[in-house]
Structure 1
């Protein structure tokens, strides 16, 4: 019986050590003045003046940065930036350098790679869009299946004006544009 208790205790301690690579809470003034270093995965909640970690978390702050493959809900007063993000980004400016999946909402949304989902802002940009853009000014360089609703909607990949209806509308259009 004692042997089973020792084995169980060792297993639990080992599991605890392997789980310590991720932390449940991050408090950050800047990425270098924080409870945990930049490279530590945060699985839980991050409260930031300016924070930058890989995360699977709820991030609340003024500037939230996510590195690597991150996911969760990131709400910021000014800026959310990420390499690859899955979830929700709400801020004045949302910026993803690689892939974004989910919902970006704010004043300006930018995705330098593929966007899968929804962008809602005054200005929306995606290098590659599969989803919906709602805003005053919408741009998607290329698309799989995309719908744009706004004052100015640009899909330069659409080659002709009304020539490929109903799959494509136009390279640029007011109120609505699409490519399916």
Structure 2
């Protein structure tokens, strides 16, 4: 019995160590020209500062992410500030400030997102600003842009064209579309639903 328990503990420990090894260590500073030409590995996490010239890729990031001409890419979560000229992509959740020509968060976002084109996969809480702001799921807060789209808008959309599948709030713009509204799903200038 003791040998069976020892064998089971050894197997579980080996699997646990393997899962940790895949995530990679945590670094205080990451410097990147173009991943994989960077100090750490793409599976490393950063708690501190990440600087990139063209492209940096890491798992989680907590702190500051600065890209001179670049794109900051994270396969995990981000807590902090992402200032990348080309853009920032986060596969996990993000809380903080994200800006660049292109921003894309696949998980939940809490904070301020600003850029020319902003994509949001999961729920968004805060302010999304840009020329084009697209959120597939719920937006609780404010969207400002030339074209704003939300799955479930709870707050204010301010732009030239505003679109929502479901609206609990106000749309102000030249064209306002609330798909669930009956009988008027389109209304110019101001549209509200509560």
Q: Considering the TM-score relative to the shorter chain, is it more than 0.5?
A: yes
Which of 35, 44, 47 aligns to 2:63? It is: 44
Number of aligned residues:
150
Deviation at 1:35, TM superposition (A): 4.7
CA contact (8 A) 1:105 1:121 kept: yes
Matching of residues 112-151 of structure 1 within 5 Å: 112-143=136-167, 145-151=168-174
Q: Relative to structure 1, is the Cα distance of residues 63 and 81 closer, same or farther in structure 2, using a 3 angstrom cutoff?
A: same
Which of 140, 157, 164 aligns to 2:180? It is: 157
Q: Relative to structure 1, is the Cα distance of residues 107 and 25 closer, same or farther in structure 2, using a 3 angstrom cutoff?
A: farther
Structure 2, unpaired ranges of 5+? 1-23, 43-56
Structure 1, unpaired ranges of 5+? 1-19, 161-169
Q: Relative to structure 1, is the Cα distance of residues 104 and 27 closer, same or farther in structure 2, using a 3 angstrom cutoff?
A: farther
- Whole-Å separation in 2 of the counterparts to 1:52 and 1:31: 10
Matching of residues 15-34 of structure 1 within 5 Å: 23=27, 25-28=29-32, 32-34=36-38
Which of 93, 118, 125 aligns to 1:69? It is: 93
State TM-score, norm by structure 2: 0.70
